[in-house]
Structure 1
Amino acid sequence: MVRAHDGRRGVICRPRAGRRRTAGRAVGSGRVAIPLARATGRAVIGIDSSPAMLRRARVAAAKVGVRLELRSSDMRDLRLERPAALLCCPYRALQHLPTWRDRRRTFERVAVCLAPNGRFAWNAFVFDHHFAARADGERRDEPVPHTLRCSKADNRVDIARDDGAVSLCGGRPVTSGSDSSTPRAWNWRRCTAGSSPNRSPPTGEYVFVARRPN
């Protein structure tokens, strides 16, 4: 178990010290990448499309004395110079991908970037169809004025803000809506990487660790 540097739980994995590469997609503030760098004793590649989050990760890593190789990129276009032994995408970041095509494309890039016997770890909510049906069209004023919109074709609840911005992932489905999916669908997508899955018990949120065969 890797615990985030701010004390929160991170993605389940077993990082090993040594020369094998580790990369984190949607690295955010470095909450998982920083403890991974500590555990392996090597720099971790951190990828995010947000310059603001990359700046936060850089500051946080400097404070604790670990090295992150931070890169600005979209997870759908993941590219590494050499395959990685571990790729992780924590805090349900894959659920920001709006369509099935985006998710499949992302998993195909994972397949290219994983070394033989490498692992890809991610977590995801279990989609709540009952919540989605009830929430579709619901107007809310907190934390900012917005309306919930359900996309049935993509198993997704969008948070459409009054200022025109759309958030594809909020909080837990039973409270604020999120782009979520079923365990069967996530298993289908990981097959694009030719990997075998392990996942946590069904508690409303799943943690997957997929392995690329030798």
Structure 2
Amino acid sequence: MSEYDAFAAVYDEWTGPIGEDDVDFYVSLAAEAEGPVVELAVGNGRVAVPIAVRTGRRVIGIDVSPAMLAGASERARAAGVELDLRLGDMRELALEERTDLVICPFRSLLHVHGHDERLRVFRGVFDTLSPGGRFAWNAFVFDPEIAAELDGQWREQGGVRHRVDYDHDERRIDLSLEGGPTIPLWWADPAEWDRLVEESGLEVEARYGWFDRSPFDESSREAVYMARKPA
């Protein structure tokens, strides 16, 4: 069992506000890749299945939640594709085969606490990538006005009733489902992501403000990253 299992039944509704923009972005990267695509925190296959369907690439999906993996397996069967699904923690990433694309969609790196633990993920990605391979992920950019509006309020997102509580000292959001678990997320600013890229041996290839590859600037509320392992 995992604390994330409770989200499995409502995950499609929960991710609704992003729409298909992120799916199209990650599919486009997979179309440029060779070999398997590795998705960290694969969830219910919302991104992995379209990659498999639209590119024919083999997708290795890793997640800590058995319920999420079961949902991904069911979604793949319904779409007529297979996913290589593995129960595991992204901080312990250690694959025998190399790849030229690792992705971590839908802000999932924010579930990893602190710089040291995130660096473990990034170094695992570095070891998994072939020379010239890419690591792509996205995360929200902390906005104090948005935080003040949402803090402590019960709201609905995609029809899912939830509450968020901010701890500014810890840079943590506690996300609670109504009648369900509370899950922590820890935000990071672009300077922190840049530092992780550098310390892991990767190089920033691009930083976008949205999945349409629009430039990142001070008004951007989402950071969409592509890093590359030096050739």
> Into which bin does the TM-score normalised by the smaller protein fall?
0.7 to 0.9
Flag the 1:151–1:78 CA change in 2: closer, same or farther, 3 A: farther
Match of 2:86 in 1: 71
1:27 aligns with 2:22: no
Identity within the alignment, %: 37
How far did 1:165 drift? 4.4
Deviations 1:15-72 (A, max 9, x none): 2378512110100111111122234323210111000010010011111111210000
User: Which segments of 5 or more consecutive residues in structure 2 lack a partner in the other structure?
Assistant: 1-11, 156-160, 209-215
Aligned pairs for 1:59-208 within 5 A: 59-129=74-144, 134=148, 139-141=152-154, 143=161, 148-153=165-170, 155-159=171-175, 165-169=181-185, 179-197=186-204, 198-200=206-208, 201-202=216-217, 203-208=220-225
Alignment RMSD (CA, Å): 2.8
Q: Distance in 1 between matches of 2:180 and 2:56?
A: 44
Residues paired across the two proteins, number: 197
Q: Distance in 1 between matches of 2:141 and 2:195?
A: 15
Q: Distance in 2 between matches of 1:39 and 1:160?
A: 34
Q: Distance in 2 between matches of 1:109 and 1:18?
A: 19
Match of 2:20 in 1: 8
> Which amino acid in structure 2 is aligned with residue 194 of structure 1?
G
> Which amino acid in structure 1 is aligned with residue 64 of structure 2?
S
Q: Distance in 1 between matches of 2:149 and 2:57?
A: 45
How far did 1:193 drift? 2.8
> Which amino acid in structure 1 is aligned with residue 190 of structure 2?
P
Flag the 1:42–1:130 CA change in 2: closer, same or farther, 3 A: closer
SS of match in other structure, 1:208:
strand
TM-score, normalising length: structure 1: 0.79
Q: Distance in 2 between matches of 1:114 and 1:158?
A: 32
TM-score, normalising length: structure 2: 0.74
Match of 1:212 in 2: 229
How far did 1:140 drift? 3.9
